[in-house]
Amino acid sequence: MAAVNRFMESYSGVYSDGTYSELQRRYPKIARQFILLHEKRKVGTSDPHKFTPEDIKEYIIFQRKRGLKDKSVFHDLGSIKNLCMFLNGNNCVDVARAKYPTLFQHHRHIRLPVTERPEYDRVIAYSHTLSAASPYLLVRACALCVLAYCSGLRTQELQHAKVRHLDTSDFSTIYLDHVKGMSTYGTARTVPIHPDAAYILGVYLSVRDSQSSFLFPGKGNGPLVTNTLSKDRTKIIEQCGVEFDFRKTRRTYAQFLIDEGASVDDVAIILGHSSSKTTEMNYARPRDDRVVAKIIGTWRNEKKEK
C-alpha cells in the first residue's frame, strides 16, 4: 500500500474529487486481490513494481471467474497500468494486452439510449413557461438541465463553468477551463450551445444574484455539489415527466449533432474526447435510417448525372 499512497499523494488535486474517491476505494481492493492470488501462488508477486504480463493474465482470469463484467475488469486494469507506469515505468498491462489479446476482448458493446426528440422538446417547452417571476431555484434547475442538454457538458464541467466564460450576447458558446482529466489528458475547450438554451439562460442570468465566478453557484459562492445537481435534475423530471441523467443529456447532445450532419471527429472535439473511437462507441454514430437515406440519395444523384 505504500506504493499506492505515493501514487495517490502525487495525483491529489489532479483527478476530480469523484475520481479520486473512487481510486481510494479501488486500489486497496486490488491490493487485497493480488495478496490473495500471491498466497495461492497464482501470481509471482503482490508488489506492483514487479508485476509481469503473466500476473496480469492471472488477475484477469481471476476477475472473470468472479463474474465481473468487462467494464469493471478494464477499469481495474487501467488503474493498475497507471500505478505501475508511475512507479517504475512497468508496462506490464500493455505487454499483457499484446501477448494475450483474447483476454482483452470486449463483449459486444451496446450503446446506452438518448432522449428522443419529443421528450427533449417537452423539456425545452417547459423552460419557456418560466420567467423572472418564477421561483429562483426552479429557474436555476431548469437552466442547468437545459444547458446540459444543449451543450453536452459533463457534471463537473457544469459545476465549474464560469459565468464570465458564457457568451451572453447570444448564449452561443461557453469556454471551459475546468474539464475532466485536468493536467493529464483533458484540455480547456470552447463548446457550442444549441439555441434552444438561449431563452432560459437569459431568464436565469436576469435573476441570478451572486458575486461568485461560477455560473451555477452553491453555498458560500462555491460550485454546486453533486447532491444539489441531482436535486435540480429531479425537479425538472417531476415538472416535465422526462427521465434523464447528465450522462444521458451528454449522449443526446452528441447524437443530435450527428443527426444534424456533424462528423464523429467534430463531435469528439466538442465533447473533449481524446479519440473519436470513444465518441462512436459510447455516445453517438450515424443512425441506420440516415445512413440508408444518404446512400439512396447518392445513388439517385448518380443516376441523374448519367
Structural domains of the chain, ranges and CATH numbers in brackets: 2-104 (1.10.150), 117-289 (1.10.443.10)
What percentage of the chain exceeds 70 in pLDDT? 93
If you ran DSSP here, which 8-state letter would residue 190 be given?
E
Residue 294 confidence class, pLDDT cut points 50, 70, 90: low
User: For residue range 46-96, what is the model confidence (pLDDT) as tens digits?
Assistant: 999 999 999 999 999 999 899 888 878 888 999 999 999 999 999 999 999
Predicted confidence at residue 210, as pLDDT, reads 92
Q: Which of 162, 128, 127, 155 is nearest to 141 (CA)?
A: 127
Question: Residue 200 above 70 pLDDT?
Answer: yes
Predicted confidence at residue 110, as pLDDT, reads 63
- What residues pair up with 192 in beta bridges, in sequence order? 173
Predicted confidence at residue 34, as pLDDT, reads 95
Lowest-confidence segment of 12-16, 156-160, 197-201, 288-292 by average pLDDT:
288-292
- Which residues 6+ apart lie within 8 Å of 257 measured at CB? 266, 267, 270, 284
Residue 19 confidence class, pLDDT cut points 50, 70, 90: confident
User: For residue range 3-14, what is the model confidence (pLDDT) as tens digits?
Assistant: 888 888 887 777
Predicted confidence at residue 181, as pLDDT, reads 62
Q: Give the separation between CA 31 and CA 80, rounded to whole angstroms.
A: 10
Q: Which of 56, 58, 134 is nearest to 91 (CA)?
A: 56
Q: What is the rounded average pLDDT of the residues 232-249?
A: 96
Is there a contact between 229 and 246 (Cβ–Cβ < 8 Å)?
yes
Is there a contact between 3 and 87 (Cβ–Cβ < 8 Å)?
yes
pTM over 0.85: no
Residue 290 confidence class, pLDDT cut points 50, 70, 90: low
If you ran DSSP here, which 8-state letter would residue 223 be given?
B
If you ran DSSP here, which 8-state letter would residue 191 be given?
E
Predicted confidence at residue 18, as pLDDT, reads 73
Question: Residue 15 above 90 pLDDT?
Answer: no
Question: Residue 184 above 60 pLDDT?
Answer: no
Average pLDDT of the chain, as a whole number: 89
Q: What is the rounded average pLDDT of the residues 208-237?
A: 94
Q: What is the rounded average pLDDT of the residues 273-289?
A: 78
Is there a contact between 278 and 268 (Cβ–Cβ < 8 Å)?
yes
Predicted confidence at residue 237, as pLDDT, reads 97
Q: Give the separation between CA 57 and CA 15, rounded to whole angstroms.
A: 28
Question: Residue 199 above 90 pLDDT?
Answer: yes
Task: Scan for cell 442570468, then name that residue.
Answer: 205
- What residues pair up with 214 in beta bridges, in sequence order? 162
Q: Which long-range contacts (CB under 8 A, 24 or more apart) does 44-49 make?
A: 47/3, 48/3, 48/4, 48/80, 48/83, 48/84, 48/87, 48/90, 49/3, 49/84, 49/87, 49/88, 49/90
Is there a contact between 151 and 194 (Cβ–Cβ < 8 Å)?
yes
Q: Which of 170, 162, 152, 167 is nearest to 247 (CA)?
A: 152
The count of other CB atoms within 10 Å of the CB of residue 26 is 17
User: For residue range 82-95, what is the model confidence (pLDDT) as tens digits?
Assistant: 999 999 999 999 99
Q: At what angle do helices 136-151 and 117-127 cross, to 10 degrees?
A: 140
Is there a contact between 156 and 146 (Cβ–Cβ < 8 Å)?
no
Question: Residue 212 above 60 pLDDT?
Answer: yes
User: For residue range 109-168, what is the model confidence (pLDDT) as tens digits?
Assistant: 567 889 999 999 999 999 999 999 999 999 999 999 999 999 999 999 999 999 999 999
Q: Give the separation between CA 78 and CA 58, rounded to whole angstroms.
A: 16
Q: Looking at the chain, how many residues does it have?
A: 306
